[in-house]
Amino acid sequence: MMRNKKGAWSFQQLGGIILVILVVLVVAINFIPRISKAAESGSKLFDAGDCDLDDVINSIDNCPCLSTGGLESSIRGCPLGTSPEESNLDKITCRWFATAESSCGGLGSSSCREADGTAFYSNCDGDNKEKCIQKSDKNFKTRCDAVSETAVGVTVKKGLAGNWDLIVSNLKLFDRRKGKTADTGTFDLENTHNSQPLFVNFDVENVGTQDTTGSFTVSVQVCNQIRQIDSCEAKISVDIGPLKYGEKKPFPLPTDVRTSLAVDIGSGDHCDGEGSASCSLRVLVDSTEVLGETSETNNDVWLPIWLQNKKSEKIDWVKKKSIEIFADEGEDPDYQSQIRATCEGFFGVDCETEDADCDDNGEFRSSLPPNGCLVHASEENDVAENDCGWAGAQLGFVLDHLSFKKIDLATGIAETEGDDNVGDLFTYRWQSTSEGSLVCGPGQLWHLCDSQRDGKILLVGGERFRCQQGGWKKVG
């Protein structure tokens, strides 16, 4: 009887199938764990990192690619105003891959996201691979990598923001000299006083819906007339304890005249100097930024201050009619040096120029320039006497004694002797001598800031410059 071979397996076929199964098993045993470990390792590295540098590690950051800026919402690791949907999207797409494309080009949100002018793909397989950006380590660049490149680290953490909201209200000034409340910020000093002593009264309110969880700080500041925040300087700063929601705390109480709230406007601030002066008084709550709150834009109040008829103060300024700069011929374009000397009179007349090479008639200027303060220039000439010239520096130009800068000119450059190279000196960077900084001030004269005039104010073209630790600082 013959055997029916239809549908039967040959030994060769059966052996081939067994071989394939064995190969698959070998691959599974050897490579799948490796892939799994690599993925696990990558996941651990990501979890331990901090993509947005907000000091909340990725493993607990619900917005790993969105910095809190130091002010955290109730969603861990997310900035104020972040919704749960936005948080979820950020967490999902933070590990997506950066591409050279700026648009998703019609791809769905499940595989592509546009952020910060870049299209991020959920994977770099197939056609996507060519569009993905490869890093030097051969890995593909992620959105986390891109965020880290431009993220600014959080140095001051205000903590978890609550539903409190601190404001300053009912700002009032008490004229300490006249012993009564001031109706405005305008004071007539009657040519007998240089400053105005005040007590500052105000209320601090928590207009939010939650008690504050910690203390905060109130700062009374004097700023320039146009209310630039970076011009503000604190007169006093006082710590205040927590406030319940809806609580208003007078500070101080009308009968509680504390010396800690006494300020003197016009002394060492933006209202200093002679004549009439204008500045701004600012009261800021939470100035040290240690207490996060849901609104950070209503924490201050401003009041314009105008001091009229201030008593003139006689200040014995050290004044120079001219300075001299000197350099060798053909210095590099980035050359910088200290000026050679200053002169109470004019170089070539009252003071010698460098090597006396520019002391002949016609080589120097013996009067103030048409505009600005006089700068004499001498350039070393290897085959002849120095090349000579001069120019006028801009009114208000500060030549610092600790840093280098180009001289801002109010005139053209007059080349009085030589081969027309002396103009190169005005392209170099200069600093003043160890005497102190110089400012081109009233009367087209250089005014020196030194230790004997520390804290004094000089009016230059309607602006105030304070002499402070040997340097001039514009204060309004």
Q: Could you report the per-residue pLDDT of 223-260, keeping only the tens digit for each?
A: 988 898 888 889 988 877 788 888 888 876 444 544 45
Return contacts of 173-182, CB within 8 angstroms, 24+ apart: 173/198, 173/199, 173/200, 173/201, 173/281, 173/303, 174/198, 174/199, 174/200, 174/201, 174/257, 176/262
8 assigned to some structural domain: no
**Res 3: pLDDT:** 39
- 282 is written with which tokens? 């600012």
Pick the last residue of a domain from 102, 130, 150: 150
Looking at the structure, tell me whether residues 369 and 456 fall in a common domain: yes
Mean pLDDT in residue range 276-287 = 84
Looking at the structure, tell me whether residues 128 and 174 fall in a common domain: no
- 357 is written with which tokens? 């090479």
Integer Cα distance of 314 and 212 in angstroms = 50
- 1 is written with which tokens? 């009887």
Specify the higher pLDDT residue, 28 or 277. Answer: 277
385 assigned to some structural domain: yes
Integer Cα distance of 120 and 114 in angstroms = 6
Looking at the structure, tell me whether residues 130 and 200 fall in a common domain: no
List Cα–Cα distances, 14 to 11, 27, 94, in angstroms.
5, 20, 49
- State the residue range of the domain holding 340: 319-474
**Res 16: pLDDT:** 64
Question: Cβ(445)–Cβ(345) under 8 Å?
Answer: no
**Res 295: pLDDT:** 54
List Cα–Cα distances, 448 to 3, 159, 422, in angstroms.
120, 47, 26
- 222 is written with which tokens? 């004097």
50 assigned to some structural domain: yes
**Res 75: pLDDT:** 85
- Residues 375-386 have pLDDT tens digits of 999 999 877 889
28 assigned to some structural domain: no
Domain count of the fold of the chain: 3
Integer Cα distance of 353 and 336 in angstroms = 20
Integer Cα distance of 316 and 63 in angstroms = 60
Q: Mean pLDDT lowest for which of 110-114, 340-344, 345-349, 428-432?
A: 110-114
List Cα–Cα distances, 275 to 222, 343, 466, in angstroms.
18, 30, 15
Three-class SS of residue 143? helix
pLDDT above 50 for 290? no
Specify the higher pLDDT residue, 74 or 55. Answer: 55
34 assigned to some structural domain: no
**Res 288: pLDDT:** 43
Looking at the structure, tell me whether residues 87 and 226 fall in a common domain: no
Integer Cα distance of 196 and 235 in angstroms = 13
Looking at the structure, tell me whether residues 259 and 231 fall in a common domain: yes
- Residues 165-223 have pLDDT tens digits of 888 989 999 999 998 999 899 999 998 998 999 999 888 888 888 887 777 888 899 99
The whole-model pTM stands at: 0.52
Integer Cα distance of 376 and 324 in angstroms = 5
Mean pLDDT in residue range 151-163 = 60
Specify the higher pLDDT residue, 126 or 305. Answer: 305
Which among 257, 278, 285, 286 has a CA at the least distance from the CA of 173? 257
Pick the last residue of a domain from 99, 127, 150: 150
Looking at the structure, tell me whether residues 357 and 255 fall in a common domain: no
Looking at the structure, tell me whether residues 195 and 275 fall in a common domain: yes
Pick the last residue of a domain from 112, 128, 150: 150
Specify the higher pLDDT residue, 9 or 220. Answer: 220
Name the average pLDDT for the chain.
Answer: 83
Looking at the structure, tell me whether residues 226 and 338 fall in a common domain: no
Integer Cα distance of 37 and 29 in angstroms = 13
Integer Cα distance of 217 and 101 in angstroms = 48
Looking at the structure, tell me whether residues 328 and 451 fall in a common domain: yes
Tell me how many degrees the CA angle 30-36-41 measures, rounded to the nearest 5: 125
- 214 is written with which tokens? 């910690």
52 assigned to some structural domain: yes
Most confident of 109-113, 359-363, 370-374: 370-374
- Residues 25-69 have pLDDT tens digits of 655 555 444 444 444 555 777 888 899 988 888 988 999 999 887
**Residue count (the chain):** 476
pLDDT tier at 336 (50, 70, 90 boundaries)? very high
List Cα–Cα distances, 295 to 111, 122, 420, in angstroms.
36, 36, 61
Three-class SS of residue 38? helix
Looking at the structure, tell me whether residues 342 and 462 fall in a common domain: yes
pLDDT above 60 for 266? yes
